Amino acid sequence: MPTFEQTPSQPVAVKSIYITSVEGHSGKSTIALGVLDTLRRSLRRVGVFRPVARSVTARDYVLEMLLAHNGGDLDYEQSIGVTYDDVHDDPDAALSRIVERYKAVERECDAVVILGSDYTDVGSPTELSFNARIAANLGAPVLLVLGGRKEQGADELLGNSEPRSADEMRQITEIALVELRNAHATLVGIVSNRSDPGHLEKIRDAIGRAAREAVDELASSAQAGPPPSDATAPLPTQPRRVPVWAIPEDRVLVAPSMAGILESIDGTMIMGDRRLLAREALGVVVAAMSMRNVLPRLTEGAVVVIPGDRAEVLLAVLMANASGTFPSLAGIVLNGGFELPEPVERLVAGLDPAIPIVTTPLGTYETAVRITATRGRLAADSQVKYDNALALFEQYVDGKQLLDLLNVSKSDVVTPLMFEYGLLDRARRADRHIVLPEGGDDRILRAASTVLKRGVARLTILGEEAEVRGRATDLGLDLDGAAVVSPFDEELRPRFAEEYRKLRAHKGITYDMAFDTVADVSYFGTMMVQLGLADGMVSGAAHTTAHTIRPAFEIIKTRPGVSVVSSVFLMALADRVLVYGDCAVVPDPTSEQLADIAVSSSETALQFGIEPRVAMLSYSTGSSGTGADVEKVRLATALVHEKCPELLVEGPIQYDAAADLVVAAAKMPGSQVAGRATVFIFPDLNTGNNTYKAVQRSAGAVAIGPVLQGLNKPINDLSRGALVQDIVNTIAITAIQAATDGVES
For the chain, percent of residues with pLDDT exceeding 90: 54
Residue 60 or 461, more confident: 461
Question: pLDDT digits over 573-607, tens only?
Answer: 888 899 998 998 899 999 999 999 999 999 999 99
Candidate CATH numbers 3.40.50.10470, 3.40.50.300, 3.40.640.10, 3.40.50.360; the one for domain 3-250? 3.40.50.300
Lowest mean pLDDT among 154-168, 255-269, 665-679: 154-168
By the 8 A CB rule, do 704 and 727 touch? no
pLDDT of 45 above 60 = yes
| Inter-CA distances, 637 with 607, 618, 619, 641, Å | 22, 11, 15, 6
Q: Pick the more confident residue, 460 or 226.
A: 460
pLDDT at 230 over 70: no
Specify whether the CB–CB gap between 462 and 483 falls below 8 A. Answer: no
- Residue 380: pLDDT band (50, 70, 90) is low
| Cα distances (angstroms) measured from residue 355 to each of 127, 327, 344, 577 | 42, 13, 17, 43
Q: How many CB atoms lie within 10 A of CB 629?
A: 16
Torsion sign across C-alpha atoms 60, 64, 70, 76: positive
pLDDT for 220: 57
CATH top-level class of 566-710: alpha beta
Predicted local confidence at residue 236, as pLDDT: 40
Q: List pLDDT tens digits, range 241-258.
A: 678 999 999 888 888 999
Q: Is the pLDDT of residue 510 over 90?
A: yes
User: What's the CATH code, domain 256-373?
Assistant: 3.40.1390.20
More confident residue, 228 or 507: 507
> Do residues 301 and 281 lie in contact, with contact meaning Cβ atoms separated by under 8 Å?
yes
Domain positions in the chain are 3-250, 256-373, 416-556, 566-710
Average pLDDT over residues 384-405: 89
Topology given in CATH for the domain delimited by 416-556: Rossmann fold (3.40.50)
Q: Do domains 3-250 and 256-373 have the same CATH topology?
A: no
Look at residue 567 and tell me whether its pLDDT is greater than 60: yes
* Sheet of 16-21, strands arranged across: 3-6, 240-248, 187-195, 142-147, 16-21, 111-115, 46-52, 80-82
- The answer to whether residue 472 scores a pLDDT higher than 70 is yes
Q: How far is CA 745 from CA 454, 492, 560, in A?
A: 20, 16, 21
Are 115 and 19 within 8 A, CB to CB?
yes
Backbone angles phi, psi at 534, to 5 degrees: -150, 155
pTM of the model: 0.83
- Rg of the chain taking only CA atoms, in angstroms: 29
Mean pLDDT of the chain: 86
Indicate whether 537 pLDDT > 50: yes
Question: With bands split at pLDDT 50, 70 and 90, how would you rate the model's confidence at 612?
Answer: very high
Residue 462 is inside which H or E element, if any? strand 458-462
Of the listed ranges 224-228, 481-485, 610-614, 651-655, the least confidently predicted one is: 224-228
DSSP calls for 52-84: E-S-SSS--HHHHHHHHHH--S--TGGGEEE-H
